[in-house]
Chains A and B, each alone.
Chain A
Amino acid sequence: MSYSDTAHHGDDHDHHGPAPGLKRWLYTTNHKDIGTLYLWFSLLMFFIGGAMALIIRAELFQPGIQIVDPMFFNSMTTMHAIVMIFGVVMPAFVGLANWMIPMMLGAPDMALPRLNNWSFWIMPFAFTIMLSTLFMDSGGPAGGWTLYPPLTLQMGDSFAFVIFAIHFMGISSVMGSINIVATIFNMRAPGMTLMKMPLFVWTWLITAYLLIATIPVFAGAVTMLLTDRYFGTSFFSAAGGGDPVMFQHIFWFFGHPEVYILILPAFGIISSIIPTFARKPLFGYDSMVYATASIAFLSFIVWAHHMFTTGMPLAAELFFMFSTMMISVPTGVKVFNWVATMWKGAMTFETPMLFAIGFVIMFTIGGLSGLMLAITPADIQYHGTYFVVAHFHYVLVPGAIYSLIAATYYWIPKWTGNMYDEKLGKIHFWTSTIFVNVLFFPMHFVGLAGMPRRIPDYSLQFADWNMIASIGAFGFGFAQLLFVWVVVKCVRGGAKATDEVWEGAVGLEWTVASPAPYHTFETAPSRQLIDKNHF
């Protein structure tokens, strides 16, 4: 490569430190600062979205309308999803990408630092609009996060603001993804070839492509909703020659890849953590890369499995059933590779490893119930029940959220220079894992017995399991306060972390000091260092 291997800085008053005060955070172009902002933002949103979930579970604690108005209940299910997807999991992964990708590649920063700042600083404004709809006269969005017409078109005035908030977030996602693609292709240190990159970088590269390809489609779909509502177009009205089902097709063309946007970076995190604590190289690195790419490709041709009961030609139902089942092949490759990595490893069970193993087991439970849902005739029975809720919460909570928690425990010594409290971390893991199963496992039972989702009341025979699930929900929610305590404690102090932090850790991020200096790899690492520290 003909590129120089150094970096230089503009507007430099103090070459190696951040600007003082609030300006540092508002104007920053530093990938570590922006990563930190993203992570704190998503932690805050995690508790907002979590509070909404607890309102839902409090209402469902007993049958009958107990606590909230049914319309508000509908707003809570809708907003809980929007906040958790767009406000928690996605920004948290972008935050990790910001912190880790430049360090993993031996790059001085992200490729487009000013754009990076904008990608973050859109998020608080976009979510101000989104959350403010809850306080409008007409109430927040209540037709489900999928915004299906015609129901969603019957919303009150807050509809326009929901649509614009989605556009606003979309701008952030697309800019952030473009930045990540440019960073990975253009900022790697000389000698860091693509197949030497950590899997977290690989999974993010593929995720970024999914985002660039699908977020604009989502923007198009919600724009059509907006014009149907305010400008008299007929995209989703049969009377005008359109079709409400068409929205579902366009939405899920975005929505299914979105599901993988929420899980592929998690795969990358787990693929980083398991080799460290098994003290063995990752089993099947190449197959992991190809499996990730296959999952991404398949994600574009499975969307209508969300619509088996909506009405489609039989040939389409069969196609989407088989294409969906094919996804279990590359996903299976990944699960087997993680297990094979642990096989005969010199394993230790520090908190990140516990969460990673929890991920592998419980994500697989969610994957298997997904396989059940993929079978069209079976899905016609399960569709719209709590079984679906159990399925996607297993892949998202002990899946995506566990990977985020694992990543935090794994890298926080590098971010702060301090070790977290291992004992509290372990308590956090075990309370979370017990309660998350108490919360979500009974949903399989009530779902198979026919309890519909998104309804504030239910038939008496579902009462026992719902009460148990609600107890699990409050237990899991309060266990996360412990997580905040561990994080805050670690930021404020603790045993000093070494540069390597973990005995078996591999990767360039472990070659810099702990805490990582404000600027890292202003001079690219040597090829020898890269060759000693890659997967």
Chain B
Amino acid sequence: MSAASGSGYYIPHEAKWPIVGSIGLYLFFMGFGKLLNDQALGTPLLVAGSVVLIVMMFGWFGLVIKESEAGTYNTQVDVSFRMAMMWFIFSEVMFFAAFFGALFYARTFSGPWLGGEGAGGAAATNAVLWSGFDYIWPNNGPGRVGGDYQPMGWFGLPLINTLLLLTSGITCTIAHHAIKDGNRTKMVKWLAATCLLGGIFVLCQAFEYYEAYAHLGLKMTSGIYGSTFFMLTGFHGFHVTMGAIMLFVVMLRGGRKHFSAENHFAFEAAAWYWHFVDVVWLGLFIFVYLV
């Protein structure tokens, strides 16, 4: 147990933030659903829900940070937090696994079957329903859904983005070593670099999307290729944004003299998350862009 910690397992009483979070999510989902259906009040509810959720996060995380800085948490509480973050990241991995699974299934099984390969009725299905469709990847299906498009190459922006994220993994690790040596100023500097690289990544991706829509004719509606491309890279981009916000908060806290050489779980949690989005990107770069 570290010297600053309180003794015994800390059990908080009376938490109002969870119920605020539930109300926020309720408003958010109701608003989003109404918006999708062009019903009244969609946008106001969506905005209200988002505001409530942001207030909840400031309140809840703020409370935990205050308690942590006051030394309320002992080593055992720290372990609970670590386990929670670890398994949360695992659940995120499984979320991405669903979309990677869809990509692999479409490329390995259902795509070739549509093209008439394989046993069973595939050849007949192809001849009767989709006569003349030859399977190649990428494709937008025998119906040419979404019209003509060009696929996104790996060279150029995606390669630059790969290098940006890999570099940000290094800068993040340098920042981690800095705080382990007790050098808070160095940590803040290298975290700033990490956030900057993350920010540039998101900007590059936004530019890539613009290119896709404006010049390549590649849209979310471009059949299975457009679907998997935008959903995988889109959810990844969203996670990069979240990770960058986490690191940014950690950086601000570093500026306020939070964290010590032994005690900096929030940093580590954000760093784990950052490495997780990094690894997902490598999977994307290989399976969405390269092969």
Task: List chain A positions with a Cβ less than 8 A from chain B.
Answer: 2-4, 6-12, 19, 23, 26-29, 108-109, 111-115, 117-118, 121-122, 125, 128-129, 157, 160-161, 164-165, 167-168, 171, 174, 177-179, 181-182, 185-187, 212-217, 219-221, 223-224, 226-228, 230-235, 237-243, 245-246, 249-250, 253, 311, 313-314
With A11-B13, A216-B94 already in contact, the answer to whether A239 and B141 are too (CB < 8 A) is yes
Closest to A138 in B: B37
Q: Which residues of B contact A179 (CB under 8 A)?
A: 84
Verify A160–B97 contact, CB threshold 8 A: no
Closest to B125 in A: A238
Task: Choose among B23, B80, B227 the residue that contacts A186 (Cβ–Cβ < 8 A).
Answer: B80
Q: Which residues of B contact A311 (CB under 8 A)?
A: 120-121
What 4 A-B pairs are tightest by C-beta distance, nearest first? A220-B98, A239-B143, A241-B141, A118-B18
Interface size class of B (residues with CB under 8 A): 35 or more
Q: Which of B57-109 contact A (CB under 8 A)?
A: 60, 67, 72, 74-76, 79-81, 83-84, 87-88, 90-92, 94-99, 101-102, 105-106, 109
B27-35, B152-160, B257-265 - interface stretch = B27-35
Q: Which residues of B contact A220 (CB under 8 A)?
A: 95-99, 102
Verify A129–B29 contact, CB threshold 8 A: yes
- Residue in A128, A186, A240 whose Cβ sees the most chain B Cβ within 10 Å: A240
With A108-B11, A157-B37 already in contact, the answer to whether A234 and B145 are too (CB < 8 A) is yes
Closest-CB distance, B250 to chain A (whole angstroms)? 20
Per-position 1/0 for B217-232, Cβ under 8 A of A? 0011101111110110
B2-10, B185-193, B204-212, B280-288 - interface stretch = B2-10
Closest to A157 in B: B37
With A118-B22, A227-B227 already in contact, the answer to whether A112 and B80 are too (CB < 8 A) is yes
Q: Which residues of B contact A161 (CB under 8 A)?
A: 29-30, 33
Verify B18–A241 contact, CB threshold 8 A: no
With A178-B87, A246-B102 already in contact, the answer to whether A224 and B231 are too (CB < 8 A) is yes
Q: Which residues of A contact B230 (CB under 8 A)?
A: 233
Verify B118–A313 contact, CB threshold 8 A: yes
Q: Which residues of A contact B151 (CB under 8 A)?
A: none
Verify B83–A10 contact, CB threshold 8 A: no
Residue B142 at the A interface, CB < 8 A? yes
Closest-CB distance, B93 to chain A (whole angstroms)? 8
Verify A4–B8 contact, CB threshold 8 A: yes
Verify B76–A4 contact, CB threshold 8 A: yes
Verify B221–A232 contact, CB threshold 8 A: yes
Verify A241–B98 contact, CB threshold 8 A: no
Of the A-B pairs whose beta carbons lie under 8 Å apart in the complex, a sample of 28, sorted by A's number, is A2-B1, A10-B67, A12-B13, A23-B14, A26-B19, A29-B14, A111-B80, A111-B84, A113-B15, A118-B18, A129-B29, A164-B30, A165-B29, A168-B29, A181-B87, A182-B87, A216-B95, A217-B94, A219-B95, A227-B227, A233-B220, A241-B140, A241-B142, A242-B106, A250-B98, A250-B101, A311-B121, A313-B120
Closest to A232 in B: B221
Q: Which residues of B contact A29 (CB under 8 A)?
A: 11-15
- Separation of A125 and B53 alpha carbons in the complex (Å): 15
- Separation of A118 and B97 alpha carbons in the complex (Å): 26
Verify A240–B143 contact, CB threshold 8 A: yes
Verify A6–B7 contact, CB threshold 8 A: yes
Verify A164–B33 contact, CB threshold 8 A: yes
Closest-CB distance, B95 to chain A (whole angstroms)? 4
